[in-house]
Amino acid sequence: MTLSKANRQRMLAYGLLLPAFIVCAVFIVYPLVMTVVNSFKPGAGMNLAKNAKIKFNATTYVKTLKDTETWKVLGRSFVYLFGSLIPSYLIGLGTALMLNKSFAGRRTFRLLMILPWAIPGVVASIMFMWMFDSTYGVINHLLMKIGLIDVYKPWFVDRQLVMFSVILPTIWKGYPFFTITLLAALQAIPIELYEAADVDGCKAWSKFIHITWPEISEASALALILNGLWSFRVFDIIYAITKGGPGTASTTIAIKIYNEAFQYFDINKASVLGVVSVVVCGIICLIFYPYMNQEGK
Amino acid sequence: MTNYRALKRLKKVSFYVGLVFILVVLLFPLYWAFQSSITSTRLILSKNPPLFPVSFDFSAYKEVMTRKPIFLWLKNTVFVSITSTVFGVALSLLAGYSLSRFKTMGNKMMGFFLLLSRMLPATLLVIPIYMMFSKVKMINSLWALIMMNLVNIIPFSTWMMKGYFDSIPRELEEAASIDGCTWFGGYTKVVIPLTLPGIAAVSIYSMILCWNEFLYSRTLAYNEKRWVFTVGISSFIGEHSINWSQIMAGGILFIIPLMIAFAFLEPFLVRGLAAGSVKG
């Protein structure tokens, strides 16, 4: 059998992709299809054969979208998203600006500053849980010492405080990503721009506004989207310590999906919420994507 | 002129002071975990816990090793991470090359799909995946965890490898083929050796991802003998009285290999993450 060169090339191209494609098809595409299917089957549970007998209808969508709890959970997800995103970004930007200067020991400082990136979310949240412990936590101790609080606060037990408490380890684990991406963007800025500004006698602040910011805004937008999508689906940091509680006070949409499936075994509702969360992610991308491209110009 | 010099010096010193201060704040959680692990429970559970090491008491490390099967968890983690990394890197060496060298419709779609798949919430995928694995009776199997880690690895490692392949000129392969090499010969003898630094970076990155994986491991293995470390350590929470010195000792033991791996990866990271295709 002889094949033309073009055909041989095409076979090679697809042949090389095939193993990765199979893995993705089985473990991403098929589960995704199953989620959509299950979302239209009221009463679907863990049993595949039983689920197959249920007729398709969209009642759970209607019920879930009418339920105020769903909107509360979504609202909480956005509190969590922005509450962790903005501080992470600011810390990332600050550290990136510092690390962009040349000084002795810079490599070591860079390594240490982005270290939290490598720490498992579970370990990070357990460390924070201990630091913020309501009876023996060092943070309570320190805050009391400097007079910021007059009683020890139950950071992870109080419904009002728990969101704040799970956001903190998320910031801690999230900021190094900004440090790394922004540092890369900063290092790509031609030094001549700053030299020219120096000749013109520009102040540091105006250099930042007129040179640095336009050059890093595109990288910032991209990093913000990627990190935002990440916080939207964070599971380990919250689940390892609160499981979404107390009550539902720290239940974001990612946690809610998991609990509906593995605590209440309501696969149908979990799938509906899953589809909703994918749609929300898609909307976030659509809103910010044009903005991102525009920033590039 | 001395005034100017003194001012410059002062600026430099205050820069370092600021840097160290920020570093102390940012790394305090790690410091506190370590400090708690080497301080006796009696001291750590007081209204006035010592902020600096008073004694180097490693008994918590010994206790956690005898009280919990942490070496088994570590062994499982190491097995799962290494196996997934080997398979994941092998697959991405093929797929990344294809994405880099061929621009067929299928290639473009696959590349786009891999990027999109990073956006999907894993808590959504884990439900049907749990059902699939229980159907084929693979719950509590480390191989199920390996497969799911593969799924985590492939999208970013393929894109990272594509980036490395892009930087290798095609002319080298053409020269090899003129010298009589087959495609496979050129690929293994010319292209792969040139991407070794890339392979190293992708491997370490994959290892870190696997080391940190929690969701699939927690869901697909409920037998304590099949736990990986992240699942094991989270089981401390919810016990009646949490022994903080021990849990911190366990955590420190677990992240030491991670920090060493990270020190090797860090120089590559700035380049790899900046490509925008990966997010831990």
Give the model confidence (pLDDT) of B194-224 as tens digits.
888 889 889 988 999 999 999 999 999 988 8
Nearest to A275 by CA among A34, A78, A110: A34
Q: What is the pLDDT of residue B272?
A: 54
> Which chain B residues contact residue A122 at CB under 8 A?
212, 214, 230, 233-234
Q: What are the tens digits of pLDDT across the range A191-226?
A: 888 888 888 888 888 888 888 998 888 888 888 888
Q: Which of B162, B159, B161, B187 is nearest to B172 (CA)?
A: B187
Positive/negative CA dihedral, A128, B145, B149, A272: negative
Of A1-15, A152-166, A207-221, B117-131, least confident by mean pLDDT is A1-15
Q: For residues A189 and A198, what is the distance between their CA atoms, to the nearest angstrom?
A: 15
The whole-number pLDDT of residue A2 equals 62
Buried-exposed string A53-80: b where 16+ CB fall within 10 A, e elsewhere: ebeeeeebbeebeeeeebeebbebbbeb
- Cα separation, A231 vs A284, whole angstroms: 13
Residue B194 within a domain: yes
B115/B103 Cα distance (integer angstroms): 16
Whether residue B150 is predicted with pLDDT greater than 90 in this model: the reply is: yes
Q: Is residue B168 part of a domain?
A: yes
Per-residue pLDDT tens for A126-151? Answer: 999 999 988 888 999 999 989 888 88
Would you say A119 and A125 are in contact if contact means Cβ atoms under 8 Å apart? no
Residue of B nearest to A130 (CA): B244
Answer whether residue A55 is part of any domain: no
* Alpha helix stretches (DSSP H) within chain A: 5-24, 30-39, 48-53, 59-66, 68-99, 106-113, 121-131, 138-145, 162-187, 191-199, 204-207, 213-232, 236-239, 253-262, 267-296
For residue A45, being part of any structural domain is answered with no
Residue B86 lies in a domain: yes
Is A50 an interface residue toward B (CB < 8 Å)?
no
What domain count does chain A have?
A: 1
Please name the member of B132, B248, B258 whose beta carbon is closest to the beta carbon of A130. B248
Q: Does a structural domain hold residue A25?
A: no
- What pLDDT does residue A289 have? 67
A131 vs B contacts (CB less than 8 Å): 28-29, 32
The identity of residue A79, as a single letter, is V
Query: How does pLDDT run across A82-131, given as a tens digit for each residue?
Result: 999 999 999 999 999 999 988 888 889 999 999 999 999 999 999 999 99
**Most A CBs within 10 Å, among B114, B124, B222, to test the A interface:** B124
> Which single residue is written with the structure tokens 């007079």?
A147
Does residue A232 register a pLDDT over 60?
yes
Segments forming the whole domain that contains residue B157: 68-228+253-274
Q: How many domains does chain B have?
A: 1
Question: Does the pLDDT of residue B271 top 80, yes or no?
Answer: no
What's the distance, CA B118 to chain centroid? 16
Contact A141 B102 (CB under 8 A): no
Single out the residue of A43, A124, A91, A184 nearest to residue B33, CA to CA: A124
The one-letter code for the residue type at B83 is T
On average, the pLDDT of chain B sits at 87
For residue A54, the SS3 value is coil
Q: Per the domain annotation, does B132 fall within a domain?
A: yes
Is A95 inside any structural domain? yes
A35 touches chain B (CB under 8 A): yes
Domain harbouring B120, CATH code: 1.10.3720.10
Over residues B120-139, the mean pLDDT reads: 91
CA-to-CA distance for A32 and A52, rounded, in angstroms? Answer: 16
If you compute the radius of gyration of chain A from its CA atoms, what whole number of angstroms results? 24
Q: What is residue A252's three-state secondary structure?
A: coil
Asked whether residue A90 is domain-assigned, the answer is yes
Which residues from chain B sit within 8 angstroms of residue A281, using beta carbons? 119-121
- Judge whether B169 lies within some domain: yes
* pLDDT value for A31: 93
Domain membership of residue B128 (yes or no) is yes
Mutate to test the interface with A, among B39, B105, B127 (most CBs of A within 10 A): B127
Task: Quote the CA–CA distance of B47 and A138 in Å, as a whole number.
Answer: 9
**Is residue A155 a part of any domain in this protein?**
yes
* Residue A1 pLDDT class (50, 70, 90 cuts): low
Containing H/E element for B69? none
On whether residue B246 sits in a domain, the answer given is no
Lowest mean pLDDT among B154-163, B195-204, B271-280: B271-280
Assign residue A219 the CATH number of its domain.
1.10.3720.10
Cβ–Cβ < 8 Å for B201, B160:
yes
Q: What is the residue range of A264's domain?
A: 64-296
Domain annotation covers residue B60: no
**pLDDT band for position B16 (50/70/90)?**
very high
Per-residue pLDDT reduced to its tens digit, B175-188: 888 888 888 888 88
The answer, yes or no, to whether residue A294 has pLDDT greater than 50, is no
Residues 6+ positions from A253 with CB-CB distance below 8 Å:
A73, A74, A77, A232, A273, A276, A277, A280, B121
Check pLDDT > 50 for residue B71: yes
- The whole-model pTM stands at 0.89
Q: How far is CA A49 from CA A44, A53, A269, B37, B98, in A?
A: 10, 7, 18, 50, 39
Residue-wise pLDDT for A155-189, tens only, equals: 888 888 999 999 999 999 999 999 988 998 888 88
Looking at the predicted structure, is the pLDDT value of residue A76 above 90? yes
Q: Report how far apart the first and last C-alpha atoms of chain A are (Å, whole number).
A: 52
